DNA sequence: ATGGCTTACTGTATCGATCAAGACTTGATC
DNA sequence: GATCAAGTCTTGATCGATACAGTAAGCCAT
């Protein structure tokens, strides 16, 4: 990309106007940035001359350098930007950010992830921003390190808190517990769990207790712990519950995983899924096997993403406040943390009971 | 918002590292920006020292100033940013932009419109970007002038071309004409129109011919002209067609506007709406009044946005390639126009006939 | 007339890097 | 042994503005 300037025109700066009018650079600058500092008549004359010469106004980068602030916030998403502006959950989060940032006149810099997840950090390093919002980015993503290196105010959303950064998340453990308690109350005794990754090693398959204990994705660890809490509270053996891990959060992955779990003997009567997409996959697996939901099988999801209510049958799930996450995180960064310690907020979840769960079969 | 730096730490720049290691500023700079320009061993040493001291890496604004580019593109939307990340059409456009920009590692700066539409241009003036994409912003919006004043490469989408800016749009007039011709061919004679704003003044209500002529939103003017073309071509009096303007592109607005139009005597048999959302609102208004669509009333939308096909009944509409608009516009600005004249692209529209239109009632 | 206050403008230092050109080594080539 | 090229680092200029302190003039009150 090139400048649109005509080639014939000399570069025009504050100094150009100043020279032409026999004034100082500072006065021209004031005409733009501090109108109360000069005679209104002179100001008009300056602006008129500037327009005539074709001055573009104070250079944004120079201004930002000198002022030490830019009036914008960088946003880093898990996946590619294209995915982020497609995914309903990410968009709700983005909308929350916009609701908080717009009234303050702050712009949002959406950072690209050019080569899939392991994106080059260049764009993050070059981002002219006053802070970062980081949404569920893997710990070893190069962009993560780049963000931390910048030493700017940063808020992590749905990812492990860092001492130097703010944090906004949900109480995944409580959410998991709520889902499991609901199914227990319906009389279920034989559970199965479909998770997304516990450790970032692209493993796929049954999860041992050792692997559960070694989980590095905190969201996953918390949800599992929540399920376990509920079961143990009524004296059930969590260690007997089959857990199946899928590497991707896709309907197809959920279908495969749930299929394997449903083919076990004795068959589980309730499936706890880590997301609505995985849960919808489980519904498909059940349909394939001629199982009726919820008569033969209950399925509970997580997120209450837009597809949950319209699934067949509508999905019982744990709602998380996606919009609020963006809103709270953005406010947090706008307000800063003058007190010292970066703040940390856990937002509540809510169990939404729909038609995909019912009494355990006799 | 404040810097997250500990107060005790002195400001760290390239010079700090240079002094500590007895090297020159430039060498440290090269360690970051041109690794091939120095000994790899020295580079490692530099980076290690930088990390130890707590250097944040080259300052983005300073870098951008000196280099004369920022690696990001500013995006200005018609409405507020909050609206833009909510509206399906705007999002599709945004996705097109992302698809074009992401592979190049370019970031997107979404600019706010803080105080409603009459946004202060501050954010535009301070935007550290290499160019602007302007999506259907009113001619007299302060942000428009600000963008033009910046003299950066700019592409206008769905708004009047400017000699100095690129242009991407659709043939709104032809699209409007196609919708109206379709209804005429079905035998309709009594039309009504639901528009979104013609002039940026937050007016809501019936639209006079004078106001139509004074429309500053070119899209609106073109679509109205297209409807008028079709009607006049068969000898109909366009001036007798009631036109109702709503300030917001929302289902609820469409419902109100269509309700008022449907309560007229004689009742219109066909409603032409400026968007699918407004059209869906019209469907609701019809339902409320016990009117069957399409037997008693035909409704045609515009956009073919995601909800159109699943509306009840599925909506006849004018499809416009929203994603392509973003894609083409963004590519245009990334490639620039070295040849001189900024390019101009008109994308085609297509009438999609579904179940919301049918033969005029007898 | 003196001091104090306001208004209007100027001058210098500074924000933090990158660029272009130059200088000094070292090794290879004729 | 001189020349050249490549590799490595330095110097000085520059990107374009804003902050802060300072000066000069005008006005009012004492």
pLDDT one-digit tens code per residue, A59-89: 999 999 999 999 999 999 987 899 899 888 8
How close is the nearest chain A Cα to the Cα of B331, in Å? Answer: 10
Distance, Å, B27 CA → C23 C1': 15
Average pLDDT over residues A250-256: 94
Question: In the predicted model, is pLDDT for residue A160 greater than 90?
Answer: no
Contact A168, A332 (CB under 8 A): yes
Helix or strand holding residue B68 (H, E): none
A104 at the B interface (CB within 8 A)? yes
Question: In the predicted model, is pLDDT for residue B3 greater than 60?
Answer: no
pLDDT band at A10 (very low <50, low <70, confident <90, very high): low
Q: Give the pLDDT of residue A78.
A: 84
CB contact under 8 A, B1 and A110: no
Question: In the predicted model, is pLDDT for residue B1 greater than 50?
Answer: no
Check if residue A67 sits with its Cβ under 7 angstroms from strand D: yes
* A86 contact residues in B (CB cutoff 8 A): 95
* B339 contact residues in A (CB cutoff 8 A): none
Question: In the predicted model, is pLDDT for residue A278 greater than 50?
Answer: yes
Q: State which residue of chain A sits closest to B148, comparing Cα positions.
A: A56
Q: Give the pLDDT of residue A201.
A: 82
Q: Give the pLDDT of residue A66.
A: 96
Contact B336, B308 (CB under 8 A): no
Q: Give the pLDDT of residue B116.
A: 52
Q: Give the pLDDT of residue B305.
A: 87
The residues, any chain, with a CB within 8 Å of residue A302's CB and separated by 6 or more, are A175, A176, A179, A223, A273, A274, A275, A276, A279, A317, A318, A320
Residue with more model confidence, A306 or B332? B332
Nearest Cβ partner for B128 among A60, A91, A113: A60
B38 closest-nt by C1' vs CA: D8
CB contact under 8 A, A128 and B61: yes
**Closest CA-bearing residue to C1' of D15:** B66
* B74 contact residues in A (CB cutoff 8 A): 107
* A112 contact residues in B (CB cutoff 8 A): 98, 101-102, 104-108
pLDDT band at A338 (very low <50, low <70, confident <90, very high): confident
CB contact under 8 A, A5 and B336: no
How close is the nearest chain A Cα to the Cα of B29, in Å? Answer: 14
Query: What is the pLDDT of chain A when averaged over all its residues?
Result: 92
* A122 contact residues in B (CB cutoff 8 A): 71, 105
Question: In the predicted model, is pLDDT for residue A284 greater than 90?
Answer: yes
pLDDT one-digit tens code per residue, B144-193: 999 999 999 999 998 888 899 999 999 999 999 999 999 999 999 999 99
* B109 contact residues in A (CB cutoff 8 A): 72, 107-110
B27 closest-nt by C1' vs CA: D9
CB contact under 8 A, A65 and B62: yes
Percent of chain B surpassing pLDDT 90:
81
pLDDT one-digit tens code per residue, B184-233: 999 999 999 999 989 888 899 999 999 999 998 888 999 999 999 999 99
In whole angstroms, how far apart are CA A155 and each of A246, A287, A328?
28, 42, 10
Nearest Cβ partner for A110 among B60, B99, B107: B107
How close is the nearest chain A Cα to the Cα of B108, in Å? Answer: 5
Report the residue count for chain B. 362
CB contact under 8 A, B109 and A107: yes
pLDDT one-digit tens code per residue, A303-321: 998 889 999 999 999 999 9
Query: What is the pLDDT of chain B when averaged over all its residues?
Result: 92
**CB atoms < 10 A from the CB of A252, how many?**
13
Percent of chain B surpassing pLDDT 70:
96
Two tokens at A306?
């837009």
Q: State which residue of chain B sits closest to A51, comparing Cα positions.
A: B149
Question: In the predicted model, is pLDDT for residue B85 greater than 70?
Answer: yes
Query: What residues approach strand C to within 7 A at the CB?
Result: A 22-27, 30, 37-39, 42, 62, 65-66, 68; B 11, 13-15, 25-26, 29, 32-34, 56-59, 62-63, 65-67
How close is the nearest chain A Cα to the Cα of B56, in Å? Answer: 5
* B4 contact residues in A (CB cutoff 8 A): 131, 151-154, 164, 342
Two tokens at B61?
């604004």
Question: In the predicted model, is pLDDT for residue A9 greater than 70?
Answer: no
pLDDT band at A136 (very low <50, low <70, confident <90, very high): confident
Beta strand B243-245 with B205-206 is antiparallel
Question: In the predicted model, is pLDDT for residue B88 greater than 60?
Answer: yes
Two tokens at A185?
């109350």
Contact map slice: A 124-183 vs B, CB within 8 A: 125-131, 146, 149-154, 164
Q: Give the pLDDT of residue A92.
A: 93
pLDDT band at B10 (very low <50, low <70, confident <90, very high): low
Backbone angles phi, psi at B105, to 5 degrees: 75, 15
B69 at the A interface (CB within 8 A)? yes
* B149 contact residues in A (CB cutoff 8 A): 56-57
Residue with more model confidence, B107 or A113? B107
How close is the nearest chain A Cα to the Cα of B235, in Å? Answer: 45
d(CA A271, CA A203): 20
Question: In the predicted model, is pLDDT for residue A5 greater than 90?
Answer: no
Q: Give the pLDDT of residue A197.
A: 86
Average pLDDT over residues B327-342: 92
Q: State which residue of chain B sits closest to A62, comparing Cα positions.
A: B65
DSSP string for residues in B267-318: PPSEEEESSHHHHHHHHHHHHHTT--TTTT-EEE-SB--TTTTTSSSPPBEE
Question: In the predicted model, is pLDDT for residue B115 greater than 80?
Answer: no
How close is the nearest chain A Cα to the Cα of B187, in Å? Answer: 38
CB contact under 8 A, B111 and A107: yes
Contact map slice: B 303-332 vs A, CB within 8 A: none
């Amino acid at each position: 990309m090139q400048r649109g300037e005509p080639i014939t025109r000399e570069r025009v700066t504050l100094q150009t106007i100043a020279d032409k009018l026999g004034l100082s650079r500072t006065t021209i600058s004031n005409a733009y940035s501090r109108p109360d500092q000069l005679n209104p008549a002179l100001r008009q004359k300056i602006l008129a001359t500037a327009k005539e010469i074709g001055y573009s106004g104070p250079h944004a980068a120079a201004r930002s350098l000198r002022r030490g602030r830019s009036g914008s916030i960088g946003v880093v998403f898990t996946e590619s930007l294209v995915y982020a502006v497609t995914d309903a959950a990410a968009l709700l989060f983005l909308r929350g950010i916009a609701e908080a940032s717009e009234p303050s006149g702050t712009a949002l810099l959406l950072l690209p992830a050019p080569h899939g997840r392991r994106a080059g950090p260049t764009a993050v390093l070059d981002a002219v921003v006053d802070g970062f919002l980081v949404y569920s980015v893997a710990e070893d993503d190069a962009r993560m390190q780049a963000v931390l290196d910048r030493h700017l105010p940063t808020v992590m959303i749905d990812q492990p808190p860092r001492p130097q950064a703010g944090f906004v998340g949900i109480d995944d453990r409580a959410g998991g517990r709520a889902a499991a308690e609901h199914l227990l109350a319906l009389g279920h005794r034989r559970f199965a769990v479909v998770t997304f990754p516990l450790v970032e090693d692209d493993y796929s398959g049954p999860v041992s207790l050792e692997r559960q204990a070694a989980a590095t994705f905190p969201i996953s660890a918390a949800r599992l712990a929540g399920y376990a809490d509920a079961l143990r509270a009524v004296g059930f053996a969590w260690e007997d519950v089959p857990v199946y891990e899928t590497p991707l959060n896709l309907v197809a992955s959920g279908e495969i995983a749930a299929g394997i779990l449903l083919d076990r003997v004795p068959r589980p009567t309730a499936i706890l899924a880590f997301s609505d997409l995985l849960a919808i996959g489980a519904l498909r697996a059940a349909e394939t096997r001629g199982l009726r939901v919820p008569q033969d099988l209950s399925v509970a999801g997580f997120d209450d993403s837009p597809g949950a209510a319209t699934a067949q049958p509508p999905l019982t799930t744990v709602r998380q406040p996606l919009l609020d996450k963006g809103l709270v995180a953005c406010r947090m960064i706008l307000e800063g943390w003058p007190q010292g310690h970066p703040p940390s907020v856990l937002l509540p979840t809510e169990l939404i009971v729909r038609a995909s769960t019912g009494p355990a079969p006799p």
